[in-house]
A and B are shown apart, each in its own frame.
Chain A
Amino acid sequence: MLRVSGLHVRYGPIAAVKGVDLEVRRGELVALLGANGAGKSTTLLAIAGALAGRQGRVELDGEAIHGLTPERIVRRGIAMVPETRDVFADLTVLENLRLGGFVHRRTPGAFEEELERQMDLFPILRERAHQAAGTLSGGEQQQLVIARALMSRPKLLLLDEPSLGLAPLIVEHIFALIGRLRESGLTILLVEQNAAQALARADRAYVMALGTIAAAGPAAEIAANTDLEAIYFGGKARGARA
């Protein structure tokens, strides 16, 4: 479904991603792992079209999308949940979701239908519908941004560290949710510091180091054979934070 080849991204003089190739097949949950600064978020943002200094090829269902603006890429069916979450803090939960459904604004009824679905999936959002999104807790905000991304009815969901900074119980909840989304047929590319949790649920995994893919394969194989400690020289400190 998604094929990335020869992806390079620079931030001015800094080369953050140096020739990444990866593939996500329909219905798969693929994990993208790696230490801090390996270039995972940069890769996701580049796929979503949000970075100007990118080179290389990105194909969705065989069509090149790397030349498109972020607003067009959502229309093609890729939704993004960034690491920074980016809730619209001053807008209500409902307004956040309404923007999530922006792409359906010309289809009568589509927004309401999708809103119901997300509210059923995330009951807390129904309770908080008229509250400013900035006043939600971290876990609630994470649920909101996932729901907001799903409002566009994506084929492919890019999830960047959904467990970041959340209490263990909420992390469980979020991972259970990712499992359910995947069972519902959604294709997911998941970036995680929480490698064990991610590998337990993923079909396949890529490990990034210093802007390139260091290892790739079925999740079980990566979990068993790869020296994650070695690749994750930054992983421990981060794990303590989660």
Chain B
Amino acid sequence: MGQVIQFAIDVLSLGSLYALMALGLVIVYGILRLVNFAYGELIMVAGYTLYLLDGTALPWLAMAAVAIVMAMVFGVLTEYVAFRPVRMKSVTAVLITSFAFSTLLQHAALLFISPRSRLVPTPALFTRTVEIAGVVVPLRNLLTIAAAVAVLALFTFLLRRTVLGIALRAAASQFRMTRMLGVPANLVITSAFAISGLLAGVVSLFWLGRIGSVVPGIGLEPLLVAFIATVIGGMRSLPGAVVGGYLLALIDVSLNTALPQALLQFRDAFTFSLVIVLLLWRPQGLIRGPATGQRT
């Protein structure tokens, strides 16, 4: 029983981070059919924001809020710098510019801060533990799950109940028609990047909270995780991203528990093999996205 609870909480807390991360990638991909390769750097930006705010008199929650806002600002900045100028011209160009922007941000961190890892402030709550049915669980894991539930609820409300949210969903299937109804293309795209930044910002708090520090290359793993989760769930489906995130966490945590010590270092190889099998079975991912029209 204790092991089951332990396992469930591990899967749910890791899955929450994967799911939110994947959602941020899909919200942009669904509309533009382009992967934002500078997405992982939003985690980095939020991390260095926390680092730079450390030692100020601000309470942690305020620092966290600033970090999230910075991730949103840099999300929107990515759109202005890497996507908007070349979006209409060529898909390849956007892939290159978003890669370039990602590298630029990493190098800026290397140059102006440090190539070495820097500690980020974490709230005292994160290091506490609670006991559930005899199992000692880090409070941080429970907070991660709670935060994900709250963000997913907010996200669902936004997409279902607000006109902007409805426009975002419409644009993901028929962008041109959405524009012909008077919805500005730039409003839709900028909002998608801002939401993407918000999700990455929230993830960063818990992701960095686990590690306790930030390095310039911190964004690679979350980007990869988000990408795999979306491939599993279906590149263009928002519920798919969430399902993919939790499923990937289930695979990871199961392998962590099941693999013998000697094989543990090859965990990712096992994960990828499972993902390949899954894709052979369902090449579109688990959940199909909306029917599509024109990309512009």
By a beta-carbon cutoff of 8 Å, the part of chain A in contact with chain B is 48-50, 52, 69-71, 74-75, 79-80, 82, 84, 86, 88-91, 95-96, 98-100, 102-103, 105, 134, 148-149, 152
Also in contact, A98 and B163, with CB within 8 A (given A71-B184, A134-B291, A148-B181): yes
Q: Which residues of chain B come closer than 8 Å to A98, judged between CB atoms?
A: 163, 166
Chain B interface residue count, CB cutoff 8 Å, equals 22
- Interchain CB contact under 8 A, B290 and A86: no
Beyond the given A52-B88, A71-B182, A95-B169, please list 14 additional residue pairs across the A-B interface where CB-CB is below 8 A.
A50-B180, A70-B179, A71-B185, A82-B177, A82-B180, A86-B293, A88-B173, A89-B173, A89-B290, A90-B290, A99-B170, A100-B181, A102-B183, A103-B181
- Interchain CB contact under 8 A, A99 and B167: yes
In the complex, which residues 163-204 of chain B have their Cβ closer than 8 Å to any Cβ of chain A?
Answer: 163, 166-167, 169-170, 173-174, 176-185
Closest CB in chain B relative to A154 CB, distance in Å: 10
- Interchain CB contact under 8 A, A103 and B173: no
A11 to B221, CA, bound (A): 42
Also in contact, A69 and B177, with CB within 8 A (given A52-B88, A86-B293, A102-B163): no
Identify whether the interface residues of B are mostly helix, strand, loop, or mixed.
Answer: helix
Closest to B177 in A: A86
A95 to B167, CA, bound (A): 9
Greatest chain B CB density within 10 A among A52, A71, A89, A91 is at A71
Q: Which residues of chain A come closer than 8 Å to B180, judged between CB atoms?
A: 48-50, 70-71, 74, 79-80, 82
* 10 A-B pairs whose Cβ atoms sit less than 8 Å apart in the complex: A71-B182, A84-B293, A86-B176, A90-B291, A99-B163, A99-B170, A102-B181, A102-B182, A102-B183, A103-B181
Also in contact, A102 and B167, with CB within 8 A (given A69-B179, A70-B180, A86-B174): yes
Q: Which residues of chain B come closer than 8 Å to A134, judged between CB atoms?
A: 291
Please tell me which one of the listed residues B169, B179, B184, B293 contacts residue A91 in the complex, with CB atoms under 8 A apart.
Answer: B169
Closest CB in chain B relative to A70 CB, distance in Å: 4
A95 to B178, CA, bound (A): 12
- Interchain CB contact under 8 A, A71 and B170: no
Q: Which residues of chain A come closer than 8 Å to B183, judged between CB atoms?
A: 71, 99, 102
- Interchain CB contact under 8 A, B182 and A103: yes
Greatest chain A CB density within 10 A among B169, B182, B183, B290 is at B182
Closest CB in chain A relative to B250 CB, distance in Å: 27
Q: Which residues of chain B come closer than 8 Å to A96, judged between CB atoms?
A: 170
Q: Which residues of chain A come closer than 8 Å to B170, judged between CB atoms?
A: 88, 91, 95-96, 99
Also in contact, A99 and B173, with CB within 8 A (given A86-B293, A105-B163): no
Q: Which residues of chain A come closer than 8 Å to B181, judged between CB atoms?
A: 74, 99-100, 102-103, 148-149, 152
Please tell me which one of the listed residues A71, A95, A105, A148 contacts residue B179 in the complex, with CB atoms under 8 A apart.
Answer: A71
A66 to B178, CA, bound (A): 19
Q: Which residues of chain A come closer than 8 Å to B174, judged between CB atoms?
A: 86, 88
A89 to B181, CA, bound (A): 16
A86 to B177, CA, bound (A): 7
A12 to B230, CA, bound (A): 34
- Interchain CB contact under 8 A, B185 and A69: yes
A56 to B179, CA, bound (A): 22
A95 to B173, CA, bound (A): 14
Please tell me which one of the listed residues B166, B182, B290 contacts residue A74 in the complex, with CB atoms under 8 A apart.
Answer: B182
Closest to A158 in B: B180
Q: Closest 7 A-B residue pairs measured CB to CB? A: A86-B177, A74-B182, A103-B182, A70-B179, A88-B170, A90-B290, A71-B184
- Interchain CB contact under 8 A, B290 and A50: no
A98 to B168, CA, bound (A): 13
Closest CB in chain B relative to A81 CB, distance in Å: 9
Greatest chain B CB density within 10 A among A52, A90, A149 is at A90
